Amino acid sequence: MSTHGTPGGRLGHEEGRPNPFASGESRARVVGVSSGKGGVGKSSVTVNLALALAADGHKVGVLDADVYGFSVPAMLGAQAGPEMADGRVLPPEAHGVKVMSMGFFVEDDQPVIWRGPMLHKALEQFLADVDWGDIGFLLIDMPPGTGDIALSMSQYLPASEVYVVTTPQPAARRVAQRSAYMARKLNLPVRGVIENMSWFTTPDGTRYEIFGQGGGAQLAEELNVPLLGQVPLVPALREGGDRGLPVVVGEPESEAAEAFRSLARSLVGLGRARVVREELRIR
Ligand SMILES: Nc1ncnc2c1ncn2[C@@H]1O[C@H](COP(=O)(O)OP(=O)(O)OP(=O)(O)O)[C@@H](O)[C@H]1O
Ligand SMILES: [Mg+2]
């Protein structure tokens, strides 16, 4: 991240500020939301899951790690950008959750053209220079694909957990599986599958499985992790994202909001991952 847009010039990590998520100073559970391909609903799941956790009383931060294709500020309706205090970046809050995104530092219509090392740096700054406070969860909206950000996460966030979002059809499942294998290779534990766009319910109560069925359950079985939740296809979810009022807060009685609350409870129920770092293993 260039410091463009942030008052105060150079940000702190150049002076060696430690990353609280790696040093153990932060007790937050770091939850990466990933998928092999774009458009399956990672960002929608991330923001709604964050709000469902917050509704249950958890303190939550959302880090939009989709540096090129940021969408979290708009989805959360986060209008004000971050402020600086004592050389640290204070993340704005939207609907009670803290948010940080590259979207706060570039104009909406400007492309972000960066090489891998700069992405790596940006992520580091979002972790070390942002005052996340005493959050219990840091949710990370990962960019589509399997590349640089996962690599950075494995270095900066040694205790992070990864959840894979897929749609129900077999093709999506296979792509999602590749991203899960990549995470595992990087030593990031994949802890669950979230199926999105699972079905559509008509007003008369009939369920249509528009994108097929079973992809989430099958992927979960192949990865030997639980299918943590299924989120239905609901127009209100898309509308909520477009309006900056996610369905969990905009239409809390809806089927989708209920699905996210149940997902949030399953995530809490899973508990923290036990981290087995290669370098700590006794040989
Ligand atoms: N369950 C759902 N019901 C209705 N619309 C949905 C649902 N999930 C996602 N959408 C819509 O589908 C589109 C893509 O979702 P989203 O942006 O969350 O996906 P993504 O995986 O983050 O995409 P990208 O890879 O581009 O970052 C959005 O317009 C969103 O509102
Ligand atoms: Mg996205």
CA-closest residue to ligand 1 atom 1: 233
Handedness of CA 126, 96, 70, 48 (dihedral sign): positive
pTM flag (> 0.75): yes
Note whether 143 and 102 are within 8 A (CB): no
Other C-beta atoms within 10 Å of 106: how many?
Answer: 17
Q: Which residues, at least 6 apart from 9, have a Cβ–Cβ distance to it below 8 Å?
A: 3
Domains and CATH numbers, the chain: 29-271 (3.40.50.300)
Using alpha carbons, select from 203, 248, 283 the residue that is nearest to residue 52: 248
Which pLDDT tens digits describe the chain residue by residue (283 residues)?
A: 444 433 333 344 445 678 898 888 888 999 999 988 888 999 999 999 999 999 999 999 999 998 888 999 999 999 888 998 888 999 999 999 999 998 888 776 666 666 667 778 888 889 999 999 999 999 999 987 657 778 888 888 888 999 999 999 988 888 888 888 888 888 889 999 999 999 999 999 999 999 999 999 999 999 999 999 999 999 999 999 999 999 999 999 999 999 999 999 999 999 988 765 555 555 5
CB-based pocket (< 6 A), ligand 1: 35, 38-44, 66, 69, 71, 144, 196-197, 231, 233-234, 237-238, 241
User: Distance (Å, rounded) from C-alpha 266 to C-alpha 91?
Assistant: 27
Please choose from 34, 44, 242 the residue to mutate so as to test ligand 1's pocket, defined by most ligand atoms within 8 A of CB: 44
User: Distance (Å, rounded) from C-alpha 70 to C-alpha 106?
Assistant: 10
CA-closest residue to ligand 1 atom 16: 41
